[in-house]
Structure 1
Protein backbone atom coordinates (compact mmCIF):
# COMPACT_ATOMS: atom_id res chain seq x y z
CA UNK A 1 0.00 0.00 0.00
CA UNK A 2 1.26 3.46 -0.83
CA UNK A 3 1.81 6.26 1.67
CA UNK A 4 1.46 8.87 -1.11
CA UNK A 5 -1.42 11.26 -0.50
CA UNK A 6 -2.54 14.14 -2.70
CA UNK A 7 -3.99 17.35 -1.38
CA UNK A 8 -7.61 17.76 -2.46
CA UNK A 9 -6.65 21.09 -4.01
CA UNK A 10 -3.83 19.75 -6.24
CA UNK A 11 -5.73 20.36 -9.47
CA UNK A 12 -6.58 23.87 -8.30
CA UNK A 13 -2.89 24.57 -7.69
CA UNK A 14 -1.95 23.25 -11.15
CA UNK A 15 -4.63 25.47 -12.69
CA UNK A 16 -3.25 28.49 -10.80
CA UNK A 17 0.28 27.69 -12.00
CA UNK A 18 -0.91 27.43 -15.61
CA UNK A 19 -2.65 30.85 -15.35
CA UNK A 20 0.52 32.41 -13.93
CA UNK A 21 2.65 30.98 -16.77
CA UNK A 22 0.15 32.22 -19.36
CA UNK A 23 0.25 35.71 -17.83
CA UNK A 24 4.05 35.65 -17.70
CA UNK A 25 4.39 35.03 -21.45
CA UNK A 26 1.33 37.02 -22.57
CA UNK A 27 3.44 39.92 -23.88
CA UNK A 28 5.42 37.80 -26.34
CA UNK A 29 4.19 37.10 -29.89
CA UNK A 30 2.80 33.58 -30.35
CA UNK A 31 5.59 32.71 -32.78
CA UNK A 32 8.23 33.40 -30.10
CA UNK A 33 6.35 31.67 -27.29
CA UNK A 34 6.15 28.47 -29.33
CA UNK A 35 9.89 28.14 -29.96
CA UNK A 36 12.66 26.66 -27.84
CA UNK A 37 14.93 29.11 -26.07
CA UNK A 38 17.98 27.54 -27.75
CA UNK A 39 16.63 27.93 -31.32
CA UNK A 40 19.10 29.21 -33.93
CA UNK A 41 19.38 31.94 -34.89
CA UNK A 42 18.04 33.85 -31.90
CA UNK A 43 15.84 36.73 -33.06
CA UNK A 44 14.42 40.02 -31.86
CA UNK A 45 11.21 41.41 -33.36
CA UNK A 46 10.04 44.99 -33.08
CA UNK A 47 7.79 47.42 -34.89
CA UNK A 48 7.74 51.05 -35.92
CA UNK A 49 4.98 53.10 -37.53
CA UNK A 50 6.51 52.26 -40.92
CA UNK A 51 7.74 48.66 -40.62
CA UNK A 52 8.22 45.40 -38.75
CA UNK A 53 11.89 44.92 -37.83
CA UNK A 54 13.43 41.47 -37.37
CA UNK A 55 17.05 40.98 -36.27
CA UNK A 56 18.53 37.47 -36.42
CA UNK A 57 21.85 36.99 -34.61
CA UNK A 58 23.83 34.62 -36.85
CA UNK A 59 27.57 35.28 -36.72
CA UNK A 60 29.95 33.37 -38.96
CA UNK A 61 27.60 32.88 -41.90
CA UNK A 62 28.17 33.72 -45.53
CA UNK A 63 25.29 36.06 -46.51
CA UNK A 64 24.97 34.24 -49.85
CA UNK A 65 23.98 31.04 -48.00
CA UNK A 66 21.09 32.63 -46.06
CA UNK A 67 17.61 32.21 -47.54
CA UNK A 68 14.85 34.63 -46.54
CA UNK A 69 11.32 34.18 -47.87
CA UNK A 70 7.76 35.29 -47.11
CA UNK A 71 4.70 33.20 -47.87
CA UNK A 72 1.17 33.59 -46.50
CA UNK A 73 2.23 35.90 -43.68
CA UNK A 74 5.15 33.71 -42.56
CA UNK A 75 8.75 34.92 -42.75
CA UNK A 76 11.22 32.05 -43.08
CA UNK A 77 14.97 32.34 -42.40
CA UNK A 78 17.00 29.27 -43.33
CA UNK A 79 20.53 28.23 -44.15
CA UNK A 80 23.41 26.14 -42.91
CA UNK A 81 26.27 26.90 -40.55
CA UNK A 82 29.47 25.05 -41.47
CA UNK A 83 31.94 23.55 -39.04
CA UNK A 84 35.18 25.48 -38.54
CA UNK A 85 38.10 23.08 -38.32
CA UNK A 86 41.05 23.98 -36.09
CA UNK A 87 44.21 25.06 -37.91
CA UNK A 88 46.54 22.80 -35.98
CA UNK A 89 48.11 19.40 -36.36
CA UNK A 90 46.44 15.99 -36.42
CA UNK A 91 47.17 15.72 -32.70
CA UNK A 92 44.38 18.18 -31.81
CA UNK A 93 41.40 16.55 -30.13
CA UNK A 94 38.19 18.47 -29.51
CA UNK A 95 36.77 17.95 -26.03
CA UNK A 96 34.05 20.62 -26.03
CA UNK A 97 31.91 22.20 -28.75
CA UNK A 98 29.36 24.90 -27.96
CA UNK A 99 28.96 26.48 -31.40
CA UNK A 100 25.86 25.40 -33.31
CA UNK A 101 26.69 23.60 -36.57
CA UNK A 102 24.23 22.39 -39.22
CA UNK A 103 21.09 23.38 -41.06
CA UNK A 104 18.69 25.82 -39.43
CA UNK A 105 15.25 27.23 -40.12
CA UNK A 106 13.23 29.83 -38.21
CA UNK A 107 9.67 30.77 -39.10
CA UNK A 108 8.10 33.98 -37.78
CA UNK A 109 4.44 34.91 -38.10
CA UNK A 110 4.22 38.49 -39.34
CA UNK A 111 1.50 40.84 -38.07
CA UNK A 112 -1.42 41.57 -40.40
CA UNK A 113 -0.26 45.03 -41.59
CA UNK A 114 3.07 43.67 -42.92
CA UNK A 115 3.42 44.11 -46.69
CA UNK A 116 5.40 41.22 -48.32
CA UNK A 117 6.22 43.47 -51.30
CA UNK A 118 8.22 45.85 -49.09
CA UNK A 119 11.07 43.71 -47.71
CA UNK A 120 14.70 44.66 -47.24
CA UNK A 121 17.35 42.31 -45.78
CA UNK A 122 21.00 43.01 -44.98
CA UNK A 123 23.71 41.10 -43.13
CA UNK A 124 26.26 43.18 -41.22
CA UNK A 125 28.63 42.10 -38.42
CA UNK A 126 26.86 38.79 -37.85
CA UNK A 127 23.36 40.28 -37.67
CA UNK A 128 20.72 39.68 -40.33
CA UNK A 129 18.36 42.66 -40.25
CA UNK A 130 15.07 42.27 -42.09
CA UNK A 131 12.69 45.18 -42.49
CA UNK A 132 9.15 44.45 -43.68
CA UNK A 133 7.18 47.57 -44.58
CA UNK A 134 3.62 48.02 -43.43
CA UNK A 135 0.72 48.53 -45.82
CA UNK A 136 -0.39 52.13 -46.31
CA UNK A 137 -3.85 51.42 -44.86
CA UNK A 138 -2.34 50.33 -41.52
CA UNK A 139 -0.09 53.38 -40.98
CA UNK A 140 -1.19 55.98 -38.45
CA UNK A 141 -2.66 59.12 -39.95
CA UNK A 142 -4.29 62.27 -38.72
CA UNK A 143 -7.96 62.85 -39.46
CA UNK A 144 -9.28 66.40 -39.71
CA UNK A 145 -12.50 67.03 -37.86
CA UNK A 146 -14.88 69.27 -39.80
Structure 2
Protein backbone atom coordinates (compact mmCIF):
# COMPACT_ATOMS: atom_id res chain seq x y z
CA UNK A 1 0.00 0.00 0.00
CA UNK A 2 2.80 2.37 0.70
CA UNK A 3 4.37 1.81 -2.66
CA UNK A 4 1.15 2.57 -4.47
CA UNK A 5 0.80 5.83 -2.59
CA UNK A 6 4.34 6.95 -3.57
CA UNK A 7 3.61 6.15 -7.21
CA UNK A 8 0.44 8.21 -7.18
CA UNK A 9 2.30 11.22 -5.75
CA UNK A 10 4.84 11.16 -8.56
CA UNK A 11 7.60 9.33 -6.77
CA UNK A 12 7.82 11.76 -3.85
CA UNK A 13 7.20 11.06 -0.26
CA UNK A 14 4.04 12.61 1.07
CA UNK A 15 4.55 15.83 3.06
CA UNK A 16 7.70 16.98 1.16
CA UNK A 17 6.02 18.92 -1.63
CA UNK A 18 7.03 22.65 -1.94
CA UNK A 19 9.36 24.83 0.12
CA UNK A 20 9.30 24.88 3.89
CA UNK A 21 8.86 28.02 5.94
CA UNK A 22 12.31 27.50 7.45
CA UNK A 23 13.91 27.59 3.98
CA UNK A 24 12.08 30.82 3.16
CA UNK A 25 13.18 32.47 6.43
CA UNK A 26 16.81 31.43 5.86
CA UNK A 27 16.70 32.81 2.30
CA UNK A 28 15.24 36.15 3.47
CA UNK A 29 17.89 36.48 6.20
CA UNK A 30 20.65 35.67 3.71
CA UNK A 31 19.36 38.27 1.22
CA UNK A 32 19.01 40.88 3.97
CA UNK A 33 22.60 40.40 5.08
CA UNK A 34 23.84 40.48 1.48
CA UNK A 35 21.95 43.70 0.65
CA UNK A 36 23.00 45.70 3.75
CA UNK A 37 26.26 47.02 2.21
CA UNK A 38 24.34 48.08 -0.88
CA UNK A 39 21.88 50.01 1.26
CA UNK A 40 24.80 51.72 3.03
CA UNK A 41 26.22 52.79 -0.33
CA UNK A 42 22.87 54.23 -1.39
CA UNK A 43 22.54 56.23 1.83
CA UNK A 44 26.09 57.59 1.57
CA UNK A 45 25.50 58.54 -2.06
CA UNK A 46 22.30 60.38 -1.17
CA UNK A 47 24.02 62.34 1.63
CA UNK A 48 26.87 63.30 -0.71
CA UNK A 49 24.41 64.50 -3.31
CA UNK A 50 22.48 66.54 -0.73
CA UNK A 51 25.68 68.23 0.47
CA UNK A 52 26.67 69.07 -3.10
CA UNK A 53 23.21 70.51 -3.73
CA UNK A 54 23.44 72.78 -0.66
CA UNK A 55 26.94 73.89 -1.61
CA UNK A 56 25.83 74.72 -5.16
CA UNK A 57 22.82 76.71 -3.92
CA UNK A 58 25.03 78.63 -1.48
CA UNK A 59 27.53 79.41 -4.21
CA UNK A 60 24.75 80.68 -6.48
CA UNK A 61 23.43 82.93 -3.68
CA UNK A 62 26.93 84.38 -3.24
CA UNK A 63 27.42 84.68 -7.00
CA UNK A 64 24.20 86.74 -7.25
CA UNK A 65 25.89 89.37 -5.07
CA UNK A 66 29.07 89.29 -7.16
CA UNK A 67 26.97 89.87 -10.29
CA UNK A 68 25.05 92.70 -8.61
CA UNK A 69 28.29 94.40 -7.52
CA UNK A 70 29.65 94.03 -11.04
CA UNK A 71 26.58 95.75 -12.47
CA UNK A 72 26.86 98.74 -10.11
CA UNK A 73 29.08 101.72 -10.63
CA UNK A 74 32.00 102.31 -8.30
CA UNK A 75 30.24 105.10 -6.39
CA UNK A 76 27.08 102.98 -5.95
CA UNK A 77 28.94 100.34 -3.94
CA UNK A 78 28.58 101.80 -0.45
CA UNK A 79 27.63 100.92 3.11
CA UNK A 80 23.89 100.70 2.23
CA UNK A 81 24.52 97.82 -0.16
CA UNK A 82 24.69 94.98 2.42
CA UNK A 83 21.23 95.64 3.90
CA UNK A 84 19.71 95.98 0.46
CA UNK A 85 21.17 92.68 -0.78
CA UNK A 86 20.62 90.69 2.42
CA UNK A 87 16.88 91.41 2.37
CA UNK A 88 16.65 90.50 -1.31
CA UNK A 89 16.98 86.71 -0.90
CA UNK A 90 15.26 84.45 -3.44
CA UNK A 91 12.06 82.66 -2.44
CA UNK A 92 12.62 79.13 -1.16
CA UNK A 93 15.98 79.65 0.53
CA UNK A 94 15.15 79.71 4.26
CA UNK A 95 18.05 77.37 5.12
CA UNK A 96 20.64 79.91 4.02
CA UNK A 97 21.86 83.14 5.61
CA UNK A 98 23.68 85.61 3.39
CA UNK A 99 25.74 88.47 4.81
CA UNK A 100 27.45 91.15 2.78
CA UNK A 101 30.05 93.59 4.07
CA UNK A 102 31.55 96.52 2.19
CA UNK A 103 34.95 97.55 3.52
CA UNK A 104 34.45 101.24 4.36
CA UNK A 105 37.99 102.24 3.56
CA UNK A 106 39.14 102.47 -0.01
CA UNK A 107 42.48 100.92 -0.75
CA UNK A 108 44.59 103.13 -2.93
CA UNK A 109 47.03 100.48 -3.94
CA UNK A 110 48.90 102.13 -6.79
CA UNK A 111 49.29 105.07 -9.04
CA UNK A 112 49.37 104.61 -12.77
CA UNK A 113 52.33 106.35 -14.39
CA UNK A 114 52.21 108.89 -11.58
CA UNK A 115 49.03 110.35 -13.12
CA UNK A 116 46.07 108.44 -11.75
CA UNK A 117 45.03 106.48 -8.70
CA UNK A 118 43.78 102.93 -8.71
CA UNK A 119 40.96 102.64 -6.14
CA UNK A 120 39.47 99.41 -4.84
CA UNK A 121 36.38 98.67 -2.74
CA UNK A 122 36.24 95.24 -1.15
CA UNK A 123 32.89 93.43 -0.83
CA UNK A 124 32.86 90.27 1.31
CA UNK A 125 30.01 87.81 0.82
CA UNK A 126 29.33 84.95 3.23
CA UNK A 127 26.59 82.33 2.87
CA UNK A 128 25.97 80.00 5.84
CA UNK A 129 23.72 76.94 5.91
CA UNK A 130 23.07 73.91 8.09
CA UNK A 131 24.98 70.92 6.71
CA UNK A 132 23.24 67.80 5.40
CA UNK A 133 21.77 66.13 8.47
CA UNK A 134 24.48 67.04 10.97
CA UNK A 135 24.71 69.90 13.44
CA UNK A 136 27.70 71.53 11.80
CA UNK A 137 27.14 74.79 9.95
CA UNK A 138 28.84 75.13 6.60
CA UNK A 139 29.75 78.29 4.73
CA UNK A 140 31.07 79.74 1.52
CA UNK A 141 32.88 83.06 1.41
CA UNK A 142 33.58 85.11 -1.71
CA UNK A 143 35.28 88.46 -2.17
CA UNK A 144 34.28 90.86 -4.92
CA UNK A 145 36.47 93.82 -5.81
CA UNK A 146 35.07 96.96 -7.39
CA UNK A 147 37.78 99.06 -8.99
CA UNK A 148 38.09 102.53 -10.42
CA UNK A 149 40.96 104.37 -12.03
CA UNK A 150 41.06 108.13 -11.46
CA UNK A 151 43.05 109.98 -14.11
Computing the radius of gyration from Cα coordinates, the structure with the larger value is 2
Which structure shows the bigger proportion of residues in strand conformation?
Answer: 1
Which structure shows the bigger proportion of residues in helix conformation?
Answer: 2
Q: Could you say whether these structures have the same fold, taking a TM-score greater than 0.5 normalized by the shorter chain as the test?
A: no
TM normalised by structure 2 equals 0.28
